[in-house]
C-alpha cells in the first residue's frame, strides 16, 4: 500500500514537472491577416476565445511555463499591425498561462496545431482575419496602383484578335513569413532574396507603358500556394511569374532554371524532387490541413490547362534565354513538374529558380543588389520578348470560363 502511495506521488510530481515550454513566439502582420505563432517543445493544450468591449482574443495555454520567450510577445506586436494593437501575457491561474491580444477591430480567428517539420518544433498558429474580409482585388490594386478591372468580361465584339490594353503580370515572391525557403551557408534566406527580386521586377514592369506588375506578397508574411494562384486570377493577371532560389544537398550544384507546370509527371527526377520541395512551403509555412480547400484539384480539371501550359512553355523559353545571358544555366532547357503554384488553369505561369543558395558563390551573388537587379532585368526582357512574339488576345479567347 505504501509503495503504491509513493508511486502515485512520484507520478503526480512527474506530471507537474512535465510542463510545456515555449521555444519561440512570432507575430507576422500582413495586409489580409495577422498570424501569431507559439512554438513549443511538445504539443500544447490550449483554448482560444474572444471577448468584446474592447475586442480581445484570449489564448489560454494549459500547463505551460511563463518563460522569457512568451513574455517577449508584447514587444513583438508592431505599430503597423492592422489587426492587433497590443498583447499581454500572465499566469491567469495555476496551470493556465494566458495571452491576451488587444484588437483594432472585430476579428475572426482560426487556430490550429502544426506538428514538427523542418527546423520547427510543435506550433500553435492563430490567424486573425478581419470579421469583414478584405477584398483581395481592391487590396492588391490599391497596393499596386493598378487600374480596376472591368466588372465583367464583355464578349469579344469580333472574331479578330483584339490586343489587350494593359498587360497585368502577377509577381510571386516565393515563401515568406514562417516559411524561409532555402537558407544559404551565410544565413541568406530565400524569402528575402525572392522579395527583393520581385520588387525590382515590379518596378521594371510598371515602367512599361502597357504593363502593370502586381505583387502577390509585398512583405515578409506567409501566403499559401493556392491563395497565390487565386490572387493572380482575381486581378485577372495575364502572366504569373514565381521567383525562387534553388537548394541542393551538394554545394557544387549551381545555375539558374525555369520551370512550367507538367500535366503528367515531371521531365526529370530532379524537377520532380524540386516540385515536392517547393510544394512543402504550405506545410512549413503552416496551413490548417483540416480546412484546406480543394480549389486546386478542381482547377486542374479545367480544359484550358493544356493550352495554358503551351503558353507557359513559350514564356519559360523566352525567360530562360535571357537568364542564360547573366548566369550559367543549370539545365539548357525548360523543365516541367507539378508545382502547385503554377496551377492557374488560364494564366501562363512560370517558376524561376534564380540560382542556388546552397552554392557559396551563388549565395554571394543572390545576396547582392547587383545580381538581384540583373535577374529582374532578365525576366523583364523575357516577358517583353514573349509578348512581342505572342501578341496577347482578349482574355476570353484563352480562358474557357
Are 188 and 361 in contact, with CB atoms under 8 Å apart? Answer: no
First to last CA, the chain: 76
Q: Which stretch binds Zn ion (CB under 5 A): 155-163, 175-183, 288-296, 385-393?
A: 175-183
Which of left, alpha, beta for 358 (phi over 0: left; psi -120 to 50: alpha)?
alpha
What is the C-alpha to C-alpha distance for residues 282 and 59, in angstroms, rounded to an integer? 24
Least gap, CB of 249 to Zn ion (angstroms): 15
What is the C-alpha to C-alpha distance for residues 376 and 383, in angstroms, rounded to an integer? 11
Instruction: Rule CB under 5 A: say whether 181 interacts with Zn ion.
Output: yes
**Taking CB under 5 A as the rule, which mask of x and - marks residues 196-235 in contact with Zn ion?**
----------------------------------------
| CB-CB neighbours of 212 under 10 Å | 21
Q: Which is nearer to Zn ion, 177 or 181 (CB)?
A: 181
Least gap, CB of 243 to Zn ion (angstroms): 9
CA angle, 31 as apex, 167 and 40 as ends, to 5°? 130
* Residue with grid cell 514562417, as numbered in its chain: 178
Least gap, CB of 192 to Zn ion (angstroms): 12
Q: Is 117 helix (H, G, I), strand (E, B) or coil?
A: strand
Instruction: Rule CB under 5 A: say whether 174 interacts with Zn ion.
Output: yes
Closest CA to 393 of 161, 109, 128: 161
Q: Which is nearer to Zn ion, 244 or 365 (CB)?
A: 244
Least gap, CB of 173 to Zn ion (angstroms): 10
Q: Which is nearer to Zn ion, 175 or 236 (CB)?
A: 175
Q: Which is nearer to Zn ion, 174 or 213 (CB)?
A: 174
Chain positions 52 to 111 lying near Zn ion, rule: CB under 5 A, are none
Cell matching residue 307: 493550352
Of the residues 244, 317, 365, 367, which one makes contact with Zn ion according to CB under 5 A: 244
Q: Which stretch binds Zn ion (CB under 5 A): 7-15, 222-230, 244-252, 282-290?
A: 244-252
Helix (H), strand (E) counts: the chain: 13, 14
**Taking CB under 5 A as the rule, which mask of x and - marks residues 262-301 in contact with Zn ion?**
----------------x-----------------------
State the DSSP code for 304: T
Are 44 and 64 in contact, with CB atoms under 8 Å apart? Answer: yes
Least gap, CB of 373 to Zn ion (angstroms): 20
Q: Which stretch binds Zn ion (CB under 5 A): 11-19, 63-71, 177-185, 313-321?
A: 177-185
Describe the crossing of helices 136-144 and 225-234 by its angle, rounded to 10 degrees: 80
Q: Which is nearer to Zn ion, 356 or 387 (CB)?
A: 356
Residue with the closest Cβ to Zn ion? 244
Least gap, CB of 174 to Zn ion (angstroms): 4
| Residues that contact Zn ion, how many (by CB under 5 A) | 4
What is the side-by-side order of every strand in the sheet holding 349-356? 211-215, 167-173, 239-246, 349-356, 257-261, 335-337
Residues pairing with 58 in the sheet = 49, 100
What is the C-alpha to C-alpha distance for residues 204 and 212, in angstroms, rounded to an integer? 9
Instruction: Rule CB under 5 A: say whether 191 interacts with Zn ion.
Output: no
Instruction: Rule CB under 5 A: say whether 255 interacts with Zn ion.
Output: no
Residue numbers of the site for Zn ion (CB under 5 A)?
Answer: 174, 181, 244, 278
Amino acid at each position: 500500500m505504501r509503495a503504491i502511495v509513493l508511486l502515485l506521488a512520484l507520478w503526480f510530481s512527474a506530471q507537474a514537472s512535465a510542463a510545456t515550454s515555449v521555444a519561440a513566439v512570432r507575430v507576422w502582420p500582413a495586409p489580409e491577416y495577422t498570424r501569431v505563432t507559439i512554438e513549443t517543445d511538445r504539443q500544447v493544450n490550449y483554448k482560444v476565445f474572444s471577448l468584446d468591449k474592447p475586442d480581445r482574443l484570449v489564448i489560454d495555454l494549459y500547463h505551460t511555463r511563463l518563460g522569457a520567450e512568451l513574455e517577449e510577445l508584447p514587444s513583438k506586436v508592431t505599430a503597423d499591425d492592422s489587426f492587433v494593437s497590443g498583447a499581454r501575457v500572465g499566469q491567469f491561474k495555476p496551470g493556465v498561462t494566458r495571452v491576451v491580444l488587444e484588437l483594432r477591430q472585430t476579428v475572426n480567428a482560426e487556430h490550429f496545431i502544426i506538428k514538427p517539420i523542418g527546423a520547427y518544433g510543435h506550433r500553435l498558429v492563430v490567424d486573425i482575419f478581419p470579421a469583414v474580409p478584405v477584398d483581395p482585388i481592391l487590396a492588391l490594386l490599391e497596393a499596386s496602383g493598378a487600374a480596376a478591372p472591368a466588372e465583367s468580361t464583355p464578349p469579344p465584339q469580333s472574331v479578330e484578335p483584339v490586343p489587350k490594353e494593359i498587360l497585368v503580370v502577377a509577381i510571386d515572391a516565393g515563401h515568406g513569413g514562417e516559411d524561409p525557403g532555402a537558407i544559404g551557408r551565410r544565413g541568406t534566406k530565400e524569402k528575402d532574396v525572392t522579395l527583393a527580386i520581385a520588387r525590382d521586377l515590379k518596378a521594371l514592369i510598371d515602367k512599361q507603358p502597357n504593363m502593370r506588375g502586381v505583387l502577390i506578397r509585398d512583405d515578409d508574411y506567409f501566403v499559401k500556394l493556392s491563395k497565390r494562384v487565386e490572387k493572380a486570377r482575381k486581378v485577372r493577371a495575364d502572366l504569373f511569374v514565381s521567383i525562387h532560389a534553388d537548394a541542393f544537398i551538394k554545394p557544387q550544384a549551381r545555375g539558374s532554371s525555369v520551370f512550367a507546370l507538367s500535366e503528367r509527371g515531371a521531365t526529370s527526377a530532379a524537377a520532380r524532387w524540386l516540385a515536392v520541395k517547393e510544394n512543402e512551403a504550405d506545410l512549413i509555412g503552416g496551413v490548417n490541413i483540416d480546412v484546406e480547400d480543394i480549389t486546386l484539384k478542381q482547377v486542374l480539371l479545367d480544359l484550358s490547362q493544356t493550352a495554358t501550359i503551351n503558353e507557359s512553355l513559350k514564356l519559360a523559353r523566352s525567360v530562360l534565354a535571357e537568364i542564360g545571358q547573366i548566369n550559367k544555366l543549370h539545365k539548357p532547357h525548360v523543365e516541367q513538374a507539378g508545382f502547385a503554384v503554377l496551377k492557374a488553369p488560364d494564366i501562363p505561369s512560370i517558376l524561376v529558380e534564380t540560382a542556388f543558395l546552397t552554392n557559396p558563390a551563388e549565395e554571394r551573388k543572390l545576396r547582392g543588389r547587383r545580381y538581384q537587379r540583373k535577374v529582374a532585368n532578365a525576366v523583364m526582357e523575357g516577358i517583353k520578348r514573349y509578348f512581342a512574339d505572342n501578341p496577347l488576345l482578349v482574355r476570353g479567347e484563352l480562358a474557357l470560363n
